[in-house]
Structure 1
Amino acid sequence: MKTYLVGGAVRDRLLGRSGGDRDHVVVGATPEQMLAAGFKQVGSDFPVFLHPQTGEEYALARTERKTAPGYRGFVVHADASVTLDEDLARRDFSINAIAEDESGAIVDPHGGLRDLEARLLRHVSPAFAEDPVRILRGARFLARFAGLGFRMAPDTLELMRAMVAAGEVDALVPERVWQELKRALEEATPSAFLGLLRDCGALQRLLPEVDALFGVPQRVEFHPEVDTGLHTQMVCDMAARLAPGNARVGFAALMHDLGKALTPPEQWPKHINHEHGGLDPVRAVCARYKVPNDYRELAVIACREHLNVHRFDELRDETVHDLIARCDGFRQPARIAELALVCEADKRGRKGLQESEYPQAAKLLAAHRAACAVDAAQLDLAGLEGPQIGEALRRARIVAIRRVRQHSSE
Structure 2
Amino acid sequence: MLNFSCKATLVLTLFMLVDTAYSQEILSTRDKAPVYIPTDYVESKSYPLLLLLHGYGFDGEVADSIWGFKEILDQYDFIYTTPNGTADPTNSLFWNATVACCNFYGSTVDDVSFLFNLIESIKSNYNVDANRIYLVGDSNGGFMALELAYRFPHLITAVVSSAGASDFKDRMPLKSGVHALQVQGTNDTSILYSGGMIGGFTYPGLEASTRKWVKYNQCSEIAKETSYKDLFPTIAGLETEVVKYNTGCLQDGSSEIWSIMGGGHGLGRPVSSSNTLEIMDWLFAKTKSGWPSVYNGIIPPVSLRLGINNIGSFSERDGIIYTCLRVFTDGLPGSVGGISEFDIGLRVVSLSEATVQITKFREFNAIGALNENAQTPDCSGIFETTTGIYTDIIVAGDSVLDTTWSLINPTNLILKLSSYQELTAN
TM range (shorter): under 0.3
Whose relative contact order is higher, 1 or 2, with alpha carbons under 8 Å and at least 6 apart?
A: 2
User: Structure 1 or 2: larger helix share?
Assistant: 1
Whose radius of gyration is greater, 1 or 2?
A: 1
User: Structure 1 or 2: larger strand share?
Assistant: 2
User: When the two structures are superposed, what TM-score results if normalisation uses the length of structure 2?
Assistant: 0.27
User: When the two structures are superposed, what TM-score results if normalisation uses the length of structure 1?
Assistant: 0.27
